[in-house]
Structure 1
Amino acid sequence: MLFVSIRKDLTFWCIGIWVAFHSLNNFRIFFDISYDYCCWVFLSYKFWLCCSVLIWEFDGVSVLLQVITKESLLTAQKEDLRRVMEMLFLREHHARTLLIHHRWDVDKLFAVYVEKGKSWLFAEAGVTVVEHHDLDPSPPNSPVMCAICIEDVPSNETTKMDCGHCFCNTCWTEHFVVKINEGQSKRIRCMAHKCNAICDEAVVRNLVSKKHPQLAEKFDRFLLESYIEDNKRVKWCPSTPHCGNAIRVEDDQFCEIECSCGLQFCFSCLSQAHSPCSCLMWELWAKKCRDESETVNWITVHTKPCPKCHKPVEKNGGCNLVSCICGQAFCWLCGGATGRNHTWSSIAGHSCGRYKEDKEKNAERAKRDLYRYMHYHNRYKAHTDSFKLESNLEESIQKKVSISEEKDSNLRDFSWVNNGLSRLFRSRRVLSYSYPFAFYMFGEELFKDEMTTEEREIKQNLFEDQQQQLEENVEKLSKCLESPFDQYSENEVMDIRMQVINLSAVTDTLCQKMYDCIETDLLGSLQLGIHNIAPYKSKGIEKASDLPISWVNNADKGPVLHCGTSVQLKHVSSSADSVLGNVLT
């Protein structure tokens, strides 16, 4: 049973229980509590979450990550709309406005409703719900004056919104066309002066499709895509070319996930999976690696500008009199222009015995920064290259396993090989990205004013000790897995097996300790809100499961289980279905 489906069903069970209790005065008297408290207990999103987690843990299901495909996008959106519509007794366009305002977070919307009431909830989102009852309807085909075009039109050619304002269909259609073309499909308001009521989506779709069918499809597409564009829990997969999938996360948004297309990425910044680096650290590191900043540093360290043409000149000899291709001679020691006549000890018309502090400091700083960057970059690249090579070893290792299984031996279980290989991949990735983390954590670019020199040195020693231990054990594990165990005797294979099992456990523990160190000892006292990192997952980056699209519309039987998800979806209009082919393409 999936976590989100449990919470959805539990939501409505809690609401039902609350309604029943609300109607029984004896319940309040017996427990000596107020109705408000009952409402809070049963409608609090925290209560749903706690109950859901208990059942979730009982079923042994991991954190929910779901892939929303082109086919299931409308299903997911309609389900959230249904929950709000049934809870607050609203029409679809009002429910959509509330959800867009709360970024499609149904739990947050319900929490605001419980804590602050329906009036405050509607006012904050700009929703105007006017109960209008036309007690004296106009006779069919009787003329009605449209207040927009000031013309009399038959009543059957007019449309009245739920706010009570009535205009001719032609004016409504033109109003809708303008708003759709302006990109306001998600919140088309009534034409009446100072009326903030949201127009019924069904009316918009019906009127626009008669004259502009393609624009009606565009309108539906905008409404559909708002589930991703305005939803903080749903994001497009950043694959290139785009796979057409979106990912929905029901738990921590600072996580790393794997789409069904195979791409692994950070859900927060949509770049490649990069923990234990924070998103900001990885952004700076990626930019530093791809731009020419370090080339500039190299030029600063190894060249000097010509005093005449200002082009960088590299010294290729031992003499300190350097000649530029422009013809200008200058002193390599100070960079000043000189004549060409010189001896071993002096240059004609020039003397540079004075110390230039600023220039020397800048050159030394650039040189030191370059060496520091190269230290971390070389190790980052080495482990990244090792990860790629070890990924290619998987096929050869499987061949060794097949050969070993065919032998007449008591050893039949080689699952330790695959487990060790998975642990090697996971640990190697952690080790690789630990170097960009260390580059910024202990440098002066991000945390210069937040740590003293002594604090930085202590934290750096602590981190590097753990990094070194992890590095040693990862290399040992890699060596064991690369060994030709298919050619070993049974006793030798048993020894390799125990080493792989032990090293796998050790590297897993060291990775967890490194993450704990980063979160508690390093980032814990600093800008943790800016530098959140994805938590360590022992089993590796979690794969998102496909969101099921087989729903049942059976009000009598209630929710029906499909692929582990318990929901019920109301009828979806055919015009909304038709837009699916145009979405995500």
Structure 2
Amino acid sequence: MDSEDDLHYSTDDDCDFYSGDMDMGMAYYSDEDDPEAEDFVDDDTDDYFESRRREQNFTILNEFDIRQRQEDDITRISSVLSISRVASIVLLRHFNWSVTKVHDEWFADETRVRKLVGLLEEPVVHASNAREVRNHTCGICFESHPVSRIKSAACGHPFCASCWEGYISTSINDGPGCLMLRCPVPSCGAVVGQDMVNSLASNEDREKYARYLLRSYVEDNKKTKWCPAPGCEHAVLFDAGNGNYDVSCFCSYGFCWNCTEEAHRPVDCATVEKWILKNSAESENMNWILANSKPCPKCKRPIEKNQGCMHMTCTPPCKFEFCWLCLGAWSDHGERTGGFYACNRYEVAKQDGAYDEAEKRREMARNSLERYTHYYERWASNQTSRQKALADLNQMQNVHIEKLSDIHCTPESQLKFITEAWLQIIECRRVLKWTYAYGYYLPEQEHAKRQFFEYLQGEAESGLERLHQCAEKELLQFLNAEGPSKEFNDFRTKLAGLTSVTRNYFENLVRALENGLSDVNSHGVSSGTSSKSTAGSSSKAGRSGRAKGGIIRTSGSTRSDDNATHWSCEHCTYVNARSATICEMCHQRH
């Protein structure tokens, strides 16, 4: 008999992991006699996604939104500090567009802040008041120009318009540094504001300057970032309130706010960095070389054995012939040493321990490579499946939804459950993909966690495959139908239910992995972890599901002690009360 001390995850606290929020899942299951069943499904789905939107800790901004927020901040600073719009921009730029920081610094020491950013209260050089002075000498070209052609910043240093135009144009073409342009005099720190730039720069340069200013609002602000998707011009305003760094842009690209890589829950950013580096670096190439090659005894270049016999010949100019097993000269080999396919010398030396260390290193490299390949292939496979699901979703939205609406005489608004199922498939593929990176870096010595993780991962794969199968294969019969059918309503209920169950399971899976599978007791766990996990999940799911008259399982198997009171639907794996003759989930007859 297994004790509850053996596994922490077989306690009552974890029953929701397997069944999810039962109220959420059961909201999709309706009585066949309920005339409002269809509306109930769609309304509940809308409520769910609306609640998810309210829980978002980020806001997607287009160019208009960015410009509007920027103008609001400028106006707020200008109003509170009673300064010009240009001065407000200078202050906000210096303090990374933080209104609060500007207020704090300004009211703490206005004089220091003015000097710091170059907002002079009085000019350094006073212009001559003599009316007879009609010309001034430019401080750059040292030529005499009419007073009307002489311009200066707040400091009063005079330069001709032509020199100013060249100075401003060069700075703008050099990049965003032009936003903090100062007086050309090296010892002067007076700022050159946007008003002066606009009055002297060309139309093209003015547009560049305005673009730099707009982009600085995103790039210099700690709370905003551009979406990293190629060609996307949206920005994200982020509020790190709930610890979730995943962001989804309007362009459908999901990324991590913290590291700007693609969204990668449940693994952390450090793991993603290591995994990406491992996938692209030469480390696995070296592992392959170590596992599948040996150095030539003469020139030491690595050689791969690609033919059956042990007679190896190094490439020119070395051309050394040697035995693959013992690395001795082939001239010392022949029938007496084992022929072409064996080496008695090697076997004797191996028994004496002469080759143990080299072979051990080679075997370790081979095992390491095989382990990495196992996880990488499955990681890449889920990535491919996700890309295919994205393409299928696009086709569904652009072609199939309209076709289904016409065939089954159903408004497109009532077919959202299909696109929501595909969106859930795409999200689950992403999560499942990163669980393989999680598994690769899970310590080998933590056997209980590893076994429990593999069990949960397997259940997640099974549940996702059921949802994917339903959304992809079972939908085809309704796309090819000649007219409306009653079975379509049953399909709606089944697909919506599977979407809910899968969503709940994956959300709980993500939370469990992010918590490091903390519920697992790594001491005193026997090799039967998987079976005990199944039993634990079944019994706990049963306890959490009794109020609803059924149990949601994440696998199609049932325990013998449940058979007397429940039966598992072979279509959707929902576990029903023994007295039921029709599955409460998919309405298939037992």
TM-score, normalised with respect to structure 1: 0.62
Selected match of 2:511 from 508, 516, 528: 516
In the TM superposition, residue 97 of structure 1 has moved relative to its aligned partner by: 3.2
In the TM superposition, residue 370 of structure 1 has moved relative to its aligned partner by: 0.8
Equivalent residue for 1:529? none
- 1:148–1:171 Cα contact (<8 Å) kept: no
Q: CA, structure 1 residues 156+406, in 2 after alignment: closer, same or farther (shift >3 Å)?
A: closer
2:257 and 2:181 map into 1 onto residues whose CA distance is 31
Kindly provide the CA deviation profile for residues 79-107 of structure 1, in whole angstroms up to 9, marking residues without a partner as x: 43333222323334433333233333334
Q: CA, structure 1 residues 509+313, in 2 after alignment: closer, same or farther (shift >3 Å)?
A: same
Equivalent residue for 1:104? 97
Matches within 5 A, 1:393-432: 393-394=392-393, 395=395, 399=400, 406=407, 415-432=416-433
Q: CA, structure 1 residues 502+74, in 2 after alignment: closer, same or farther (shift >3 Å)?
A: closer
In the TM superposition, residue 147 of structure 1 has moved relative to its aligned partner by: 8.4
Q: CA, structure 1 residues 64+328, in 2 after alignment: closer, same or farther (shift >3 Å)?
A: closer
- 1:67–1:246 Cα contact (<8 Å) kept: yes
Q: CA, structure 1 residues 308+223, in 2 after alignment: closer, same or farther (shift >3 Å)?
A: same
Selected match of 1:65 from 56, 59, 76: 59
1:415 and 1:500 map into 2 onto residues whose CA distance is 11
Of 466-475 and 267-276, more deviation after overlay is shown by 267-276
Equivalent residue for 1:32? none
1:181 and 1:384 map into 2 onto residues whose CA distance is 41
Q: CA, structure 1 residues 201+439, in 2 after alignment: closer, same or farther (shift >3 Å)?
A: same
- 2:126–2:156 Cα contact (<8 Å) kept: no
Unaligned runs of 5+ in 2: 1-49, 520-590
2:134 and 2:517 map into 1 onto residues whose CA distance is 76
Matches within 5 A, 1:211-226: 215=205, 218-226=208-216
Equivalent residue for 1:200? 193
Equivalent residue for 2:471? 481
1:523 and 1:195 map into 2 onto residues whose CA distance is 60
Count of equivalent residues:
447
In the TM superposition, residue 75 of structure 1 has moved relative to its aligned partner by: 4.8
Equivalent residue for 1:470? 460
- 1:63–1:251 Cα contact (<8 Å) kept: yes
Selected match of 1:130 from 83, 99, 121: 121
Selected match of 1:273 from 263, 279, 290: 263
What's the secondary structure of 2:435's corresponding residue?
helix
Which letter does structure 2 place at the counterpart of 1:501? A
Unaligned runs of 5+ in 1: 1-55, 444-452, 525-585
Q: CA, structure 1 residues 110+432, in 2 after alignment: closer, same or farther (shift >3 Å)?
A: farther
Q: CA, structure 1 residues 522+197, in 2 after alignment: closer, same or farther (shift >3 Å)?
A: farther
Equivalent residue for 1:161? 153
- 1:98–1:127 Cα contact (<8 Å) kept: no
1:480 and 1:86 map into 2 onto residues whose CA distance is 59
- 2:226–2:236 Cα contact (<8 Å) kept: no
In the TM superposition, residue 384 of structure 1 has moved relative to its aligned partner by: 2.5
1:434 and 1:171 map into 2 onto residues whose CA distance is 61
Selected match of 1:148 from 129, 139, 163: 139
- 1:320–1:333 Cα contact (<8 Å) kept: yes
- 2:145–2:160 Cα contact (<8 Å) kept: yes
Equivalent residue for 2:374? 375
Q: Percent identity?
A: 27
What's the secondary structure of 1:335's corresponding residue?
coil
What's the secondary structure of 1:304's corresponding residue?
strand
- 2:218–2:235 Cα contact (<8 Å) kept: no
In the TM superposition, residue 264 of structure 1 has moved relative to its aligned partner by: 4.0
Confirm or deny that 1:249 pairs with 2:237.
Answer: yes
Kindly provide the CA deviation profile for residues 188-234 of structure 1, in whole angstroms up to 9, marking residues without a partner as x: 2234563322123312332344xxx6555554444444334434444
- 1:228–1:235 Cα contact (<8 Å) kept: yes
Equivalent residue for 1:87? 80
Of 158-167 and 134-143, more deviation after overlay is shown by 134-143
Equivalent residue for 1:306? 296
In the TM superposition, residue 418 of structure 1 has moved relative to its aligned partner by: 3.6
2:88 and 2:228 map into 1 onto residues whose CA distance is 29
Which letter does structure 2 place at the counterpart of 1:422? L
Q: CA, structure 1 residues 337+390, in 2 after alignment: closer, same or farther (shift >3 Å)?
A: same
Matches within 5 A, 1:261-340: 261-290=251-280, 293-316=283-306, 319-326=309-316, 327-339=319-331
Kindly provide the CA deviation profile for residues 22-71 of structure 1, in whole angstroms up to 9, marking residues without a partner as x: xxxxxxxxxxxxxxxxxxxxxxxxxxxxxxxxxx99x95854533434x7
- 1:228–1:236 Cα contact (<8 Å) kept: yes
- 1:466–1:510 Cα contact (<8 Å) kept: no
Q: CA, structure 1 residues 108+522, in 2 after alignment: closer, same or farther (shift >3 Å)?
A: farther
CA RMSD in angstroms comes to 4.5
Which letter does structure 1 place at the counterpart of 2:371? R
Q: CA, structure 1 residues 61+267, in 2 after alignment: closer, same or farther (shift >3 Å)?
A: closer
Which letter does structure 1 place at the counterpart of 2:291? V
In the TM superposition, residue 403 of structure 1 has moved relative to its aligned partner by: 5.6
- 2:382–2:432 Cα contact (<8 Å) kept: yes
In the TM superposition, residue 309 of structure 1 has moved relative to its aligned partner by: 4.3
What's the secondary structure of 1:330's corresponding residue?
strand
1:155 and 1:519 map into 2 onto residues whose CA distance is 69
Equivalent residue for 2:560? none
What's the secondary structure of 1:249's corresponding residue?
strand
1:491 and 1:363 map into 2 onto residues whose CA distance is 63
1:152 and 1:407 map into 2 onto residues whose CA distance is 84
In the TM superposition, residue 470 of structure 1 has moved relative to its aligned partner by: 1.8
Kindly provide the CA deviation profile for residues 261-283 of structure 1, in whole angstroms up to 9, marking residues without a partner as x: 45444444444333334444334
Confirm or deny that 1:433 pairs with 2:434.
Answer: yes
Equivalent residue for 2:182? 189
Kindly provide the CA deviation profile for residues 507-536 of structure 1, in whole angstroms up to 9, marking residues without a partner as x: 222222233223333699xxxxxxxxxxxx
Q: CA, structure 1 residues 141+365, in 2 after alignment: closer, same or farther (shift >3 Å)?
A: farther
Kindly provide the CA deviation profile for residues 229-277 of structure 1, in whole angstroms up to 9, marking residues without a partner as x: 434444444444x35x141324249744454445444444444333334
1:421 and 1:81 map into 2 onto residues whose CA distance is 43
What's the secondary structure of 2:335's corresponding residue?
coil
What's the secondary structure of 1:481's corresponding residue?
helix
What's the secondary structure of 1:521's corresponding residue?
coil
1:222 and 1:383 map into 2 onto residues whose CA distance is 40
Confirm or deny that 1:505 pairs with 2:495.
Answer: no
In the TM superposition, residue 380 of structure 1 has moved relative to its aligned partner by: 1.5
1:135 and 1:396 map into 2 onto residues whose CA distance is 71
Q: CA, structure 1 residues 402+343, in 2 after alignment: closer, same or farther (shift >3 Å)?
A: same
2:75 and 2:59 map into 1 onto residues whose CA distance is 21
Q: CA, structure 1 residues 280+91, in 2 after alignment: closer, same or farther (shift >3 Å)?
A: farther
Selected match of 1:230 from 192, 195, 220: 220
2:170 and 2:404 map into 1 onto residues whose CA distance is 70
